Chain A
Amino acid sequence: MPRAGIVGGGHTTWGARSATYKDMIQEAGKATFEAVPGLGPGDVEGLFVGSVQPERYAFQSHVAPMVAELVGVDVDAMIARTELACASGQAALRYAWLAIAAGELDVALVLGVEKMNLPREYQGEAQAGMTNVLDREFDGVNGLNAPPYFAMVAQRHMHEYGTTREQLAMVAAKNKSHAAHNEFAQFQEEVSVDDVVDSFELSPPLCLYDCSGITDGAAGLLLVSEEKAAEIEAEATWIAGSGQACFASNSINNLPSMSAWPQATTAAESAYEQAGIDDPVEDLDVAEVHDCFSISEIVEYEDLGWVEKGEGGQFVEDGRSQLDGDIGVNPRGGLLGCGHPLGATGVSQAIEVHDQIHGNVPSARQVPDAETGLIHNLSGSAAVHSVMVMEGGRP
């Protein structure tokens, strides 16, 4: 199968922006091409846009051609928007990878964007868009948007495995503190375990600092064939394996578990096998995983196969996910520190792994000797898990 590699990408500033959906698409497009001097908008053949709810947040659909127009890209091979809730950006990257691997195109622009902050008096309308991700008729109607849902995952994990409130806070403190060294992140302040536990108890047992933000932002990257990477003499980060899984379930009664995500295990095993990874803890150096809430990262340590089930809390407590630990997890700052503009998150994670592997990040968040990386996103009620393994090297 022809290889495809990331050759660079860029971000807008993330946060509560005084900018529209369209403004941020332009900013991210410019930043993306500035990061890759060998390519311009005229080189793009395929465009893949990750965006979850522009219909609700920006009152706009058919957004892929809007991105083409705003960034000045003539597409002659493939154009689509991907919607997979919180994994929409990673889904866009996966489709671009498959299109290149299939020989359909050589240069893809993958751009993720979300505008989530509405004027304060309209936040209820914005939140309505976060409460229809599970079955709206039977789950959303009960107020099950993200914080109470993931609070129940935390409650069950603590109940079944003895995970502690402090261990949850260790994840949040780690990731938010990484974001202090990330100039595009929404939250750029060092945070302690005590700060997390003392923050507003939004959906108990989760506190405000256990939760990712409501974020406006965009990110874009360029994915190219091996032939094109050689032609432009670019340093690339190759997609070595990619897996996804969903077990015929989205609503509460049909999910396999409230404390385990076996879909993540299936997706990871598929990606590891393709990438030739036998022991992920030994072979992976850096990982950007979906810490939409602190509990998520703990469940992911376990179900991505890094530690025995139930020992995820101990994994963070022992420092194994610190930058200099077994795997440097969420050096970018994660969703907890960077914020989570839904469609942009997976794209941003992939850019971070690329920049980590090629030493393009500030030293304060550099994972030592990063050569092999992973991105992971869950979506919605964690019904779907997407895993991608990446490695460095010249074509």
Chain B
Amino acid sequence: MSDDRDTVDLPATIRLPRLLDFYELQTADHTRIHEFYEALQDGQLTTTECRDCGDLQFPPRVLCPECHSEDLAWTDLPHEGDLFAFSAMRAGAPLGMEDDVPFVTGIVDLGPVKLSARIDGAEYDDLAIGDPVALKIVDVDGPVDHERVFYRFEPR
């Protein structure tokens, strides 16, 4: 055996792995609900609704989970709603969100749907159930080849 050992070199840093990026790839090359993200780029929150049975889905789907019809229509969602529930992330955040701590996350009642969302522009102690909130859209910067967006809410 030689006294000179070879060395296995591992990289000290790597790009954010694709599967540790919470945000979906948003273009037609990657997802069949790209129209949701395209509408969001244009400032509109949308979802899908079944033309056959009338079921309104959220998250948007590629076919109706209720009747399996593929005849879905894109429909606009309200941009204002009420805070249904909320809490805060003060420790134990996942990769990619650690620098945001503390932040408020909650559930917004838009009427047709209740969706989870980050609540910007407020501390936990400033908020109460039923508070009015409005849509805001954020750009998502990251190691992908297209511009991405996502929705959040803030007090109004």
Point out residues on A near B: beta carbons under 8 Å: 123-125, 127-128, 130-132, 134-145, 147-148, 151-152, 155-156, 159, 200-206, 248, 251-254, 258
> Is B107 a contact partner of A152 (Cβ separation < 8 A)?
yes
Point out residues on B near A: beta carbons under 8 Å: 20, 22-24, 58-59, 65, 84-98, 100, 103, 105-107, 113-118, 124, 129, 150
- Selected from A143, A204, A253, A258, the residue in CB contact (under 8 A) with B93 is A143
For B98, give the chain A residue with the smallest CB separation.
A124
User: What residues on B are CB-neighbors of A248 within 8 Å?
Assistant: 65
> Is B93 a contact partner of A124 (Cβ separation < 8 A)?
yes
User: What residues on B are CB-neighbors of A205 within 8 Å?
Assistant: 87
> Is A253 a contact partner of B58 (Cβ separation < 8 A)?
yes
> Is B88 a contact partner of A203 (Cβ separation < 8 A)?
yes
For A155, give the chain B residue with the smallest CB separation.
B85
Sampled A-B contacts (17; CB under 8 Å): A123-B92, A125-B20, A125-B95, A128-B22, A128-B94, A131-B94, A137-B59, A138-B115, A143-B93, A143-B103, A145-B92, A147-B89, A152-B86, A155-B85, A155-B87, A155-B129, A203-B90
CB < 8 Å A-B pair total: 107
User: What residues on B are CB-neighbors of A128 within 8 Å?
Assistant: 20, 22, 94-96
- Selected from B24, B85, B124, the residue in CB contact (under 8 A) with A156 is B85
A155-B85, A204-B88, A204-B124 known; A252-B23 Cβ under 8 A: no
Ranked 3 nearest A-B pairs via Cβ: A151-B87, A152-B85, A124-B95
Q: Taking the nearest CB of chain B, how far is it from the CB of A133, in angstroms?
A: 11
A124-B94, A128-B20, A147-B92 known; A253-B113 Cβ under 8 A: yes
User: What residues on B are CB-neighbors of A152 within 8 Å?
Assistant: 85-87, 106-107
Q: Taking the nearest CB of chain B, how far is it from the CB of A146, in angstroms?
A: 9
> Is B86 a contact partner of A143 (Cβ separation < 8 A)?
no
- Selected from B20, B58, B107, the residue in CB contact (under 8 A) with A258 is B107
Q: Taking the nearest CB of chain B, how far is it from the CB of A247, in angstroms?
A: 12
In angstroms, Cα B21 to Cα A131, docked, is 11
Q: Taking the nearest CB of chain B, how far is it from the CB of A296, in angstroms?
A: 15
> Is B95 a contact partner of A144 (Cβ separation < 8 A)?
no
> Is B114 a contact partner of A145 (Cβ separation < 8 A)?
no
> Is B118 a contact partner of A142 (Cβ separation < 8 A)?
yes
Q: Taking the nearest CB of chain A, how far is it from the CB of B87, in angstroms?
A: 4
